Amino acid sequence: RRPFVASAPGKVIMFGEHAVVYGKSAIAGSVDMRAYALVVPHSGHAVRLVLPDIGVDIAFDGRRLPRVQPGALAHPGDVEALLAEGIDVPDGPGRMAALVFVYLYGSLVADTGAQGFSICVRSLLPVGAGLGSSAAYSVALSAALLQLTGQLHGDGASEGDRRLINGWAFQGEQVAHGTPSGIDNSVATYGGFLEYTKGRDPAPLQSTRALRVVITNTNVPKSTKALVAGVRALRDAHPAIVDSILDAIHSVSTTAAELFQAPDADDSDAEQRLHDIVRVNHGLLMALGVSHPSLERVRDIAARYRMASKLTGAGGGGCALTLVPSGAPKSATAEVAAAMAADGFECYDTVVGGAG
């Protein structure tokens, strides 16, 4: 019963946003900014959750929380019922995170006779930027509670362990978001790159490649719902044109999947092709009307350094990603990031496609 840490990465949509809504394939990758859960077991029955970044510090007597029946609670409203047990969950941004913890505790720990513990989760992921911060939290938490109660077979990395962790993390995401697609928790669990098509299980790509990427948060607020509705309206007005754009985006995603899985994927030809499809994917998204002047600005700056950028996620502001050539010196990334920061954007120098 020694202290331990479980961690999980965030995600970024590399290719295929918006088209994925119409059944086309999308590619997402893990981002090397992670959520870390530190678990400190102790004697007694006190359980404490501390999330210093969002002001959560809750404690309860582990014996007072009844076991959550599997599948009985899928939504926050149901979880709130548990709070009748006298657990004081704060209002505000930490509330969802606290509810996810209470749900997972009731499901995974309450019945096991486990002794008390405290768990502290910190995250390097910006919240609400489309980088999967809640999924990273859910995965790190699920892995931590499964490990604490001896339900993992190894260190969490085997296929069986990952499937277990991912399943619980998805339930955590349902508590937080209602009907998530499951792509975020899958990327956070498996790492690497993953191909996703609506209605199918996300498929991890067999890739050993990791990409240097600068992620830029324009800090321009966006409404995913309004942007998705805008694409739908355009498609209603011009079905033939918009469907061919969506098909072209699908080709971008399938080309990316091939490039990621090619055995000689680190040659310079593959890198040039990746650069091309980043640029093309952004152009297609722009044609769908989901770019924004701030995103075009990011793209102009990147182009000055011969790097390709595209928006990631819903667009209309939000985040962009810029592909950094593998041979570029560290200083090149720093220069691009500094140029973008000078325009008021926030930059993260990341590696995409690393471990889950």
Instruction: Report the residue number, 67 or 177, with the smaller CB distance to ligand PMV.
Output: 177
Contact pattern for ligand PMV over residues 187 through 226, marking x by CB under 6 A: -------------------------------------x--
Q: Is 112 in the site for ligand PMV (CB under 6 A)?
A: no
Computed over its alpha carbons, how large is the radius of gyration of the chain?
A: 21
Q: How do beta strands 46-51 and 117-123 pair? A: parallel
| Cα–Cα distances in angstroms (integers) from residue 203 to residues 26, 28, 256, in the given order | 11, 10, 14
- Subset of residues 126 to 145 that bind ligand PMV, contact rule: CB under 6 A: 130
Least distance in Å: CB of 180 to ligand PMV?
A: 9
Least distance in Å: CB of 260 to ligand PMV?
A: 19
Q: Which residue has the tokens 């990952």?
A: 162
40/148 Cα distance (integer angstroms): 10
Dihedral sign (CA 52, 56, 57, 58):
negative
* Residue 203 identity (one-letter amino acid): A
Query: Contact with ligand PMV (CB under 6 A): which of 8, 20, 187, 280?
Result: 20
CA neighbor of 249 nearest in space, from 11, 16, 54: 16
Least distance in Å: CB of 130 to ligand PMV?
A: 3
Q: Is 97 in the site for ligand PMV (CB under 6 A)?
A: no
**Of 30, 133, 134, 207, which one is the catalytic site residue?**
134
Instruction: Report the residue number, 286 or 339, with the smaller CB distance to ligand PMV.
Output: 286
Least distance in Å: CB of 169 to ligand PMV?
A: 17
Q: Is 230 in the site for ligand PMV (CB under 6 A)?
A: no
161/143 Cα distance (integer angstroms): 9
165/62 Cα distance (integer angstroms): 22
Q: Could you confirm whether 184 is annotated as catalytic?
A: yes
Among the residue ranges 14-22, 66-74, 105-113, 346-354, the one whose residues contact ligand PMV (CB under 6 A):
14-22
Task: Pick left, alpha or beta for residue 234 (phi over 0 → left; psi -120 to 50 → alpha; otherwise beta).
Answer: alpha
3-class secondary-structure state, position 211:
strand
Instruction: Report the residue number, 6 or 35, with the smaller CB distance to ligand PMV.
Output: 35
Q: Could you confirm whether 7 is annotated as catalytic?
A: no
C-beta separation of 323 from 211 below 8 A: yes
Least distance in Å: CB of 80 to ligand PMV?
A: 25
For residue 335, the number of C-alpha atoms closer than 13 Å in the C-beta half-sphere is 13
- Interface residues with ligand PMV (CB under 6 A) are 17-18, 20-21, 130, 224, 228, 313-314, 318
- Which residues are designated catalytic? 134, 184
